[in-house]
Structure formats: C-alpha cells, structure tokens
Amino acid sequence: MSELALTLLRLGFLVLLWVGVLFTLSVLRRDLRAPREARPAPVAAPGGQQPAASSPPRRARSGGKGSRLVVTEGPLSGTVVPLGTTPVTIGRAADSTLVVEDDYASTNHCRIYSAGGEWVVEDLNSTNGTWLDRTRITRPTVLPVGVPLRVGRSVMQVRK
C-alpha cells in the first residue's frame, strides 16, 4: 500500500473517531439537560421586570389526610405502604421504606413525612427529579390525596 493511501486511511479513521466522540458528547448533554416541562416558563411581571426564580405552586388542602401510599404504575404496582408517624423514604437503597429497582430512581430519591396535619414530599437531590402530577418539585411540597407522584417509572398516590 502506498504512503499516500496509508496516510488517508489514518486521517479517515481519526475523523471517524472524532465524529463518534462528538456524537457521544451531544447525547450526554441532551440527556443531562432538564426536560422542557421542568424548566420554568418566563413570566413578565408588571412594569417589565422579570420575577425572581419561580417555584411550583403550593397545593390546596385536600380535605383530609390519607393513611396509605399506593403504587399505581410501575414494577411495584399494587404495593401499599402504610403512612404513620415515621417518614417514608423512596429510592434504590436497601434501607429505603419503598425500594424502587429502577435506573431512573436515585439511591435516596425522596421522602414523605407528616407536617401540620398533611403529607409533605421532599426531593432528596435526585438526578431525574420527583414529579407531583406534571410539576417537578424542588422544595418540600404538600402531597394531596389522589394526586400522582412520579419517582422514576413508578407512579404512586396517597389514599385514605
């Protein structure tokens, strides 16, 4: 094989390697970015000023406190966890109250606890987030009875 052909073959292989690296980086970047639903929409405040960081709306009282957490979708569908005085932890960790075997759930994903006569859900800095209905929660939020709570591929609800 001639020297020119060998050099062109090497350059072609090098270009192919770089295309693969750039493709991999673009896929990683897209996967690590927050989904469109998780980003707050810009809202113009009166006077033309942009408001400070928006937060998800607090839910209204549900008219009663549930007594159990029921998994409605996912691999643990039908599982019932009684809610009591101790917090319920959800995640992949073996010491979690509800162990979720899911690649989209973090080791310590979220916690549900009682506060002020209501159930409160708190995301524990999970990678993919904890979703209350269609809103990603970023701070402790009241968990009303019957509202879907999504952790990875599992969906659960507080029921009476």
**Chain segment 110-150, per-residue pLDDT in tens:** 999 998 888 999 999 998 999 998 899 999 999 999 999 99
Both tokens of residue 78? 């039908």
Q: Specify the amino acid at residue 12.
A: G
The runs of H, that is alpha helices, within 33-113 are: none
Distances (CA, A) of 133 to 37, 93, 148: 12, 24, 5
Q: What is the pLDDT of residue 65?
A: 77
- Share of residues in the chain with pLDDT > 90 (%): 55
64-78: pLDDT as tens digits: 577 899 999 998 999
Q: Residue 80 pairs with which residues in a beta bridge?
A: 70
pTM of the full structure: 0.59
Question: What is the C-alpha to C-alpha distance for residues 49 and 62, in angstroms, rounded to an integer?
Answer: 34
pLDDT bucket at 29, cuts 50 / 70 / 90 = confident
Question: What is the C-alpha to C-alpha distance for residues 111 and 97, in angstroms, rounded to an integer?
Answer: 9
Q: What is the pLDDT of residue 17?
A: 96
CB under 8 Å to 122, separation ≥6 — which residues?
110, 111, 112, 113, 137, 139, 140, 141
Q: What is the pLDDT of residue 32?
A: 74
Q: Specify the amino acid at residue 139.
A: R
